[in-house]
């Protein structure tokens, strides 16, 4: 089983206490900072942008987990400032040219993840398994923090684990994103998930002083 890792969802963070939050995450050895980039078109919200990403890199060396919820990302990748140390999720649903999108992502040397929404069937992954490092399994419909999990996605995670096993692709990483409570995280860990996006349901509950303990609780649940 792959090592479990935490990706902290920075759209849930309080900008006033951002440096204190980052210091806590560095102390707790949080593996990634999850950055939701939203364009108001692919999803009905505007998310963290290029300037935020650039500024965050000056605050910390924690690798970034860039979740691009934008339409036709293959034409916008150069704007983002992607680094080789990054993990980048692009949505299957965001373009008619999924293969072209993945090919263009190759140019940045980052790890490539394909994200799929709750209602997108896992069979769409069949023809791209040789070209991706991971799958970002959305457990809520993307765009907003604080949503409740789409219950069918838990069974979907189990199906995805079997899907990869049957194709001898268990090396592909499964990331889960959306309402990842410690309880949900524990279940999804059994279904092969190894990267857990922590937001308002786990890490960012309460005040910034609570974050350290919250990370410890999530970490214990996903061991």
| Catalytic residue from among 39, 65, 86, 177 | 177
Token pair for 101: 């999108």
Residue pair 30/21 in contact (Cβ under 8 Å)? The answer is no
Q: Which SS3 state, helix, strand or coil, does residue 70 take?
A: coil
Residues 127-154 as b/e (b if ≥16 CB within 10 A, e otherwise) read ebbeebebbbbbbbebbebebebbeebe
Looking at the DSSP bridge assignments, the partners of residue 135 are: 114, 174
Residue 177 known to be catalytic: yes
Q: How far apart are CA 168 and CA 163, in angstroms?
A: 9
Residue 36 known to be catalytic: yes
| Catalytic residue from among 14, 23, 36, 210 | 36
Residues 40-56 as b/e (b if ≥16 CB within 10 A, e otherwise) read eebbeeebbeeebbeeb
| Helices and strands (DSSP H and E) totals, the chain | 7, 8
Q: Which SS3 state, helix, strand or coil, does residue 112 take?
A: strand
How many angstroms separate the first and last alpha carbons of the chain? 10
Enzyme catalytic residues? 36, 177
């Amino acid at each position: 089983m792959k090592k479990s890792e935490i990706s902290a969802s920075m759209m849930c963070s309080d900008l006033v206490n951002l440096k204190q939050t980052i210091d806590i995450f560095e102390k707790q050895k949080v593996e990634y900072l999850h950055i939701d980039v939203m364009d108001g078109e692919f999803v009905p919200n505007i998310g963290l942008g290029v300037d935020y990403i650039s500024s965050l890199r000056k605050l910390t060396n924690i690798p970034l987990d860039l979740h691009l919820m934008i339409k036709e990302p293959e034409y916008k990748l150069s704007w983002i400032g992607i680094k080789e140390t990054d993990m980048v999720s692009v949505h299957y649903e965001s373009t008619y040219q999924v293969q072209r999108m993945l090919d263009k992502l190759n140019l940045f040397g980052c790890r490539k993840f394909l994200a799929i929404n709750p209602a997108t069937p896992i069979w769409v992954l069949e023809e791209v398994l040789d070209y991706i490092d991971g799958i970002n399994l959305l457990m809520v419909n993307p765009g907003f923090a604080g949503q409740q999990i789409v219950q069918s996605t838990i069974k979907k995670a189990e199906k995805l684990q079997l899907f990869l096993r049957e194709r001898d692709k268990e090396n592909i990483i499964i990331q889960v994103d959306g309402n990842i409570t410690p309880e949900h995280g524990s279940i999804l860990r059994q279904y092969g998930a190894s990267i857990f996006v922590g937001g308002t349901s786990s890490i960012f509950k309460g005040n910034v002083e609570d974050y350290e303990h919250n990370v410890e609780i999530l970490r214990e649940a996903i061991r």
